[in-house]
A and B are shown apart, each in its own frame.
Chain A
Amino acid sequence: RKEVEQDPGPFNVPEGATVAFNCTYSNSASQSFFWYRQDCRKEPKLLMSVYSSGNEDGRFTAQLNRASQYISLLIRDSKLSDSATYLCVVRGGRGQNFVFGPGTRLSVLP
């Protein structure tokens, strides 16, 4: 089983749609959680950290369920500029390394 798994995608949605991404992780010792976005041929950039109580940043809402080892990202009112690959990242356990999921690609269509 991979350490971090994500919806395989791609997701093709119209502008204005609400889209949700799911992520599961296998290491119960994981301590911190993030969503990154990566545009085509660019480096990954931090979108938001994910906290136990859930957190929101504008149109983006992240949730963490430690018991189920599950992380989600909700994007409301999708924009064309949201088109990218969304990477779930987990840190903790031995080595405290950042472990990346394979990513879910989103295309927002006009």
Chain B
Amino acid sequence: ETGVTQTPRHLVMGMTNKKSLKCEQHLGHNAMYWYKQSAKKPLELMFVYNFKEQTENNSVPSRFSPECPNSSHLFLHLHTLQPEDSALYLCASSQAGTASGANVLTFGAGSRLTVL
């Protein structure tokens, strides 16, 4: 496997369900991100982890709970979601540290979530 892999690619859940999104990167990066993209809206940064430590929580509701057990894996645990949470959830990775043109953000294919 190469790049950034996300599972599942599609998920339909009820408002009372508990589910998790999984992300794995094979690029040797040490920073991982969750972004949300709703229809016709810009990408919204949700969480950032650098070296497994959460460094950014962009005022995300507690019904979204991230977990980063190591630098290669990132999860997003979902519970009691609302229909307006339906969106494309994108995982990405990069090298932490100094910004440079060579230090780019690489995305997974995304998990398309529908909350009924």
Give A contacts to B, CB under 8 Å.
30-34, 41-46, 49-51, 87, 89, 91-92, 95-103
Task: Please judge, given known A-B contacts A92-B99, A96-B99, A97-B45, whether A45 and B104 are in contact too, CB under 8 Å.
Answer: no
Task: Please judge, given known A-B contacts A44-B43, A97-B48, whether A31 and B100 are in contact too, CB under 8 Å.
Answer: yes
> In this complex, what residue of B is CB-closest to A101?
B42
User: Which of the four size classes fits the interface of chain B?
Assistant: 20 to 34
B104 touches A46 (CB 8 A): yes
Q: Which 4 A-B pairs have the closest CB atoms?
A: A49-B101, A31-B99, A43-B107, A32-B99
Residues in B with CB closer than 8 Å to A33 are 101
Residues in B with CB closer than 8 Å to A42 are 109-110
Give B contacts to A, CB under 8 Å.
33, 42-43, 45, 48, 55-56, 88, 90, 92, 94, 96-110, 112
B106 touches A96 (CB 8 A): no
List 8 extra interface pairs beyond A34-B101, A41-B112, A95-B48, CB under 8 A: A32-B100, A43-B90, A43-B108, A43-B109, A46-B106, A96-B98, A96-B99, A98-B92
Secondary structure at chain A's binding surface: helix, strand, loop or mixed? strand
How far, in angstroms, from A49 to B105 measured CA to CA in the complex?
11
> In this complex, what residue of A is CB-closest to B101?
A49
How far, in angstroms, from A95 to B97 measured CA to CA in the complex?
9
How far, in angstroms, from A33 to B90 measured CA to CA in the complex?
20
A32 touches B42 (CB 8 A): no
How far, in angstroms, from A41 to B38 measured CA to CA in the complex?
11
Ordered by A's residue number, 20 sampled pairs between the chains whose C-beta atoms are within 8 Å are: A31-B98, A31-B99, A31-B100, A34-B101, A34-B104, A34-B105, A41-B112, A42-B110, A43-B108, A43-B109, A44-B90, A46-B106, A51-B101, A89-B105, A95-B48, A95-B56, A96-B99, A97-B56, A100-B43, A102-B42
